[in-house]
Structure 1
Amino acid sequence: MKVLNYRVLLRKEPEGGFTVVVPSLPGCITYGETIEEAIAMSREAIELYLDSLIAEGEEILSDEETMEYTLNLQRDDL
């Protein structure tokens, strides 16, 4: 069994809840009312995405080699 790592980004929505994006899996986006639900939904979305890749014989991508950096910008016009 291989362990795959995925970075998930949670964005709080103005109407409530959280949208989750998985950057390494294009189009893998889900939603949850709470952070806990959003994380659970992201796990399910990733599993389904991987099932689709396997069924199509596509390469399985992960965040094994991904580095992350947060860039801060200061703007006076915003």
Structure 2
Amino acid sequence: MKIKVIIHPAEEGGFWAEVPAIQGCATQGDTMEELLDNLHEAVEACLSVDLAHVEISEHDKVLELAV
């Protein structure tokens, strides 16, 4: 999956980034390397779903879709 992010310089130093396609998904880092690591974690966390709270019947199937 490819997703666009917007990287901004932070006023206090370092960087912060937002992911417009995922509402509320943003992170920061002191260096570009740290920011990129944090972006991977943030996107994964924003897209993860806890199925424990989802009602699934015995006739339903859960699939993972890679895009």
Q: Residue 33 of structure 1 corresponds to which residue in structure 2?
A: 30
Unmatched runs of 5 consecutive residues or more in structure 2: 55-66
> In angstroms, what is the RMSD of aligned CA positions?
2.0
Structure 1 unaligned residues grouped into runs of 5+: 58-63, 65-78
Find the aligned partners of 2:47 and 2:10 in 1 and give their Cα distance. Answer: 26
Post-superposition offset of 1:44: 0.3
Give matches, 1:1-78, under 5 Å. Answer: 4-52=1-49, 55=51
Instruction: With the length of structure 2 as denominator, give the TM-score of the two structures.
Output: 0.70
Q: Please give the per-residue CA displacement for 1:3-55, whole angstroms capped at 9, x wherever unaligned.
A: x1111111001210111100100100100000111111001000011103x74
Higher Cα Rg: structure 1 or 2? Answer: 2
* Count of aligned positions: 54
Higher RCO, 1 or 2 (CA under 8 Å, sep at least 6)?
1
Identity of aligned residues (%): 33
TM-score by length of 1: 0.61
Distance 2:7 2:33 in 1: 11
SS at match of 2:43: helix
Q: Residue type matched to 1:30 in 2?
A: T
Please give the secondary structure, in 1, of the residue aligned with 2:48.
Answer: helix
